[in-house]
Amino acid sequence: MADRLLVWTPRGVAVIYILMMSLFALDVEDESFVRAVLGFVIHLIPALILLGCTVLAWRNPRAGGIAFLVLGVGFTWFFHTYEDVAAFIILSVPLFVAGVLFLKQSQ
C-alpha cells in the first residue's frame, strides 16, 4: 500500500499542478482571435514544460525528480516567488514536493 502511495502521489501532484498552470493561460484577452490564440499558446509554455517533465518522471523517476527540483528553483527565480510566501507555497513548493517524491520513488 505504501509503495502504491509513493508511486501515485508525485504523479498526482504533477498532474494537478499542470492543470492549475494551464488555467493561468485562460486569462488572455485580445481583440483579434489570432492574437488571443497566440497569447494562449504562449501562456501554456510552462504547462507544456511541466508536462514534458512529468512524462520523463513517469518513465524515469530519478531523472524526473531532478527535473522537477530544477524546475522548482527555476520557477522560484523566474516568477520571483521568493518575495511572497503565498506565491512560493502555491507555485514553487509543489514542484519541490513532486521532485523529492519522484527521487524517493527511484530508490
| CA-closest candidate to residue 75, choices 46, 41, 99 | 46
pLDDT in tens, 7-36: 899 999 999 999 999 998 888 887 788 888
Tell me the HSE value of 37 on the side-chain side, using a 13 A CA sphere: 3
Instruction: Centre a 10 Å sphere on the Cβ of residue 6 and count the other Cβ atoms it contains.
Output: 15
Domain spans of the chain, in order of start: 2-105
Report pLDDT for 106: 84
Q: How far is CA 82 from CA 9, 73, 79, 102, in A?
A: 25, 10, 8, 23
pLDDT in tens, 39-96: 899 999 999 999 999 999 999 999 999 999 999 999 999 999 999 999 999 999 999 9
Q: Is 0.75 topped by the overall pTM?
A: yes
